Amino acid sequence: MNRIFEKLTGHLAKNPGRLFLIDSAGALLTAVLLSAVLSNLSPYIGMPKTTLDLLFSIAACFCFYSAACFLFLKAKWALYIRLISFANLLYCALTIAFLFIHYNKLTILDLMYFLAETAIICLLVYTELNVAGKILNKR
């Protein structure tokens, strides 16, 4: 498994724009799920609509940021990868905080969705930081 991860991060370090494309696509998926699916189901789930709207807004901003980096960035890849990785970590921390704040109202589906999303984003952050490190070590 470690060899696969090393190969993946090596490939992404050579093509850092693809990492931003992956991040942008993930943020877009999150935004769509929050706005189109969970927001419409808010009467049936425990997470308040205002919280879902806030998380949607953040995910949409991350989508645009990563898409702009993919389209326009030509240098200083590691800096911008680190910025989005730390932003993603803050998003995860905010999501976990909301899980604690609204725990008594949440359904099992809420918990499963937000914990799975957080786990996936944390894997992405780990990958992003490894790629940024490889880019910096190439200098």
Does residue 5 form part of some domain?
A: no
Does residue 2 form part of some domain?
A: no
In single-letter form, the type of residue at position 56 comes to F
Separation of alpha carbons 78 and 133, rounded Å: 7
Does residue 86 form part of some domain?
A: yes
Structural domain count of the chain: 1
- Which pLDDT does position 139 carry in this prediction? 60
Please state, as a whole number, how many other Cβ atoms lie within 10 Å of the Cβ of residue 50.
Answer: 9
Half-sphere exposure for 127 (CA within 13 Å, toward CB): 23
Does residue 7 form part of some domain?
A: no
* Nearest residue to 16 (alpha-carbon basis) of 88, 57, 74: 74
Does residue 9 form part of some domain?
A: no
In single-letter form, the type of residue at position 138 comes to K
**What is the residue-wise DSSP string for 84-98?**
HHHHHHHHHHHHHHH
Separation of alpha carbons 40 and 37, rounded Å: 5
Give the three-class secondary structure for 79: helix
Instruction: Write down the residue that tokens 């927001």 correspond to.
Output: 39
97-121, pLDDT tens digit by residue?
999 999 999 999 899 999 999 999 9
Does residue 1 form part of some domain?
A: no
Range of 122's domain? 15-138
Ranges under pLDDT 70 in the chain: 139
Does residue 84 form part of some domain?
A: yes
Q: Determine if the pTM surpasses 0.85.
A: yes
Separation of alpha carbons 82 and 128, rounded Å: 7
Instruction: Write down the residue that tokens 């940024």 correspond to.
Output: 132
Does residue 47 form part of some domain?
A: yes
- Which pLDDT does position 40 carry in this prediction? 80
